Amino acid sequence: MYEVNYHRATSVEEAAALFAKAGDAKFVAGGQTLIPTMKQHLAAPSDLVDLRHITALKGITVSGGQVTIGAGTTHAEVAGSAQLRSACAAICDLAGHIGDPAVRHMGTLGGSIANNDPAADYPAAMVALNAAIRTNKRTLAAEDFFTGLFETALEADEIIVSVSFQAPAKCAYAKFPNPASRYAMAGVFVARGTDGSVRVGVTGAGSSGVFRHSGMERALAANWSTGALDNVSVDENMMLSDIHGDAAYRANLVKVMAKRAVAAAG
Amino acid sequence: MATVTLTVNGKKVSGEVEDRTLLVQFLRENLNLTGTHVGCDTSQCGACVVHMDGKAIKSCTTLAVQAAGSAITTIEGLADGTQLHPVQAAFREHHGLQCGFCTPGMIMTAVDMINRHKANGSKLDEKTIRAELEGNICRCTGYHNIVRAIEAANAAMA
Find the CATH number of the domain harbouring A192: 3.30.390.50
Give chain B as a 3 state SS string. Answer: CEEEEEEECCEEEEEEECCCCEHHHHHHHHCCCCCCCCCCCCCCCCCCEEEECCEEEECCCCECCCCCCCEEECHHHCCECCECCHHHHHHHHCCCCCCCCCHHHHHHHHHHHHHHHHHHCCCCCHHHHHHHCCCCCCCCCCCHHHHHHHHHHHHHCC
CA-closest candidate to residue A110, choices A47, A148, A44, A54: A54
Beta bridge partners of B22: B63
Residues B96 and B43 in one domain: no
- Domain containing residue B61: 2-77
| Alpha-carbon dihedral angle through residues B132, B134, B138, B142, given to the nearest 10 degrees | 80
pLDDT for A194-252, tens place per residue? 999 999 999 999 999 999 999 999 999 999 999 999 999 999 999 999 999 999 999 99
Q: What is the CATH number of the domain that holds B64?
A: 3.10.20.30
Q: Among all residues of chain B, which has the CA nearest to that of A6?
A: B19
How far A32 CA sits from the closest chain B CA (Å)?
6
Total domain count, chain A: 3
Boundary-marking domain end, from B44, B77, B110: B77
Statement to judge: residues B68 and B7 lie in one domain: yes
Give the span between the Cα atoms of B89 and B149, in whole angstroms: 9
Longest dimension (CA), chain B: 46
Contact A198, A220 (CB under 8 A): yes
Closest CA to A123 of A138, A139, A112, A134: A112
If you count them, how many residues does chain A have?
266
A194 CB-near residues (< 8 Å, 6+ apart)? A65, A166, A168, A169
Closest Cβ–Cβ partner in A3, A5, A36 for B43: A36
Please give the average pLDDT of every successive group of 10 residues along chain B, which has 158 residues: 96 97 98 97 95 98 98 98 97 97 98 96 96 96 96 96
Beta-carbon separation of B46 and A100 below 8 A: yes
Round to whole Å and give the CA distance between B58 and B70: 14
Mean pLDDT rounded to a whole number for chain A:
97
A-chain residue closest to B69, CA distance: A53
**Given B2, B43, B68, which is nearest A32 (Cβ)?**
B43
Cα gap A44→A82, rounded to integer Å: 39
The minimum CA-CA distance between A219 and chain B, rounded to whole Å, is 35
A21 and A88 assigned to the same domain? no
A180 and A201 fall within a common domain:
yes
Q: Chain B contacts of A28, Cβ < 8 Å? A: 66
Residue B125's CB is within 10 A of a number of other CB atoms, namely 12
Q: Does B53 touch chain A (CB under 8 A)?
A: no
CA distance A97 to chain B (A): 9
Quick check: B56 and A101 CB within 8 A? yes
Task: Show which of A166, A192, A220 is a domain's final residue.
Answer: A166
Tell me the CB-side half-sphere exposure of residue B101, using CA atoms within 13 A.
Answer: 10
Distance (Å, whole) CA A156 – CA A209 = 20
Residue B158 has a pLDDT of 86
Q: Which residues of A touch B62 (CB under 8 A)?
A: 31, 35, 106
Q: Of A145, A166, A187, which one is at a domain's C-terminal end?
A: A166
H or E element in which residue A75 lies: helix A75-79
- Residue A209 DSSP label: S
Whether A182 has a pLDDT exceeding 90, the answer reads no
Tens of pLDDT, residues B64-110? 999 999 999 999 999 999 999 999 999 999 999 999 999 999 999 99
Chain-chain contact of A100 with B134 (C-beta, under 8 angstroms)? yes
**Interface membership of A32 toward B (CB under 8 Å):** yes
B125 at the A interface (CB within 8 A)? no
CA B112 – CA A253 distance, rounded (Å)? 35
